[in-house]
Amino acid sequence: MSPGVVLRSTLFALFQLVITPPYALVALLTLPLPPLARYRVISLWARSMVVAARAICGIRYHVIGAEHIPREPFIILSKHQSAWETLAFQGIFPPQVWVVKRELLWIPFFGWGLAMLRPIAIDRGAGPRALRQLLEQGRDRLARGLCIVIFPEGTRTAPGARRKYQLGGAWLAVKTATPVVPVAHNSGALWRRNAFLKFPGTITVSIGAPIDAGDFEPEALNRRVEDWIEGEVRRLNTVTVNGER
């Protein structure tokens, strides 16, 4: 293991430790602001983490397919490999909310700031009630001009691994007649799940063409999204983080 990687990862962790608590207090002060203004202030924390990851750890990124991003609100169905994409998406896509498990809102500082962004926090054990909540709050967020980010595998998945794609995101898209934008990336090669070490290199984020949910039943839409994402992830993984095959 390179001593430089250890040192840079330690410095990045210290940066997070120093910045996050006071920024959480700043986030609390935005409570009287309109939701969009509050979002722009709070999301600066995520953007600062991406900048710090580049400056300290050497983690860069580039985006393929940015021209596919619609002007109107849409639903992002994305691969989930690390915490990096939850930060970087704040700068790549228009204002957004996430569908998350409600336990995330209980995490000190991070969870409190997340709660102020009005995510769709689901109790996964609630069954049909959770679906009703997803539909009601999903319609509300879309009507407010916000995009919705959903990780259909439900949790972070290591590079090369694959989990069952859950139907909720495709179901919401069909029920609300909202376009779906599939997203693939290879962030897990540099910023691994629950790992302290962060490796230098370039992450590629690939944005697919919007899919009209009105042309599909939820199951068919889910398969279409899964096929595109997994195929694109395989393509990205044929190239190492240093650009060598």
Q: Which domains occur in the chain, in start order?
A: 3-237 (3.40.1130)
Are 224 and 216 in contact, with CB atoms under 8 Å apart? Answer: yes
Q: How far is CA 18 from the centre of its chain?
A: 23
Neighbours of 238 (CB within 10 A): 7
Distance from C-alpha of 232 to C-alpha of 177, rounded to nearest angstrom: 25
In angstroms, the CA 100 to CA 149 distance is 9
pLDDT of 62 reads 96
**What pTM, to 2 d.p., does this model score?**
0.91
In tens digits, the chain (245 residues) has pLDDT values of 688 999 999 999 999 999 998 888 888 888 888 888 888 898 999 999 999 999 999 999 999 999 999 999 999 999 999 999 999 999 999 999 998 877 777 777 677 677 777 888 887 666 778 888 899 999 999 999 999 999 999 889 999 899 999 999 999 999 999 999 999 999 999 999 888 999 999 999 999 999 999 889 999 999 999 999 999 999 998 764 444 43
Tell me what pLDDT residue 123 has. Answer: 77
Cβ 128 vs Cβ 87: under 8 Å:
no
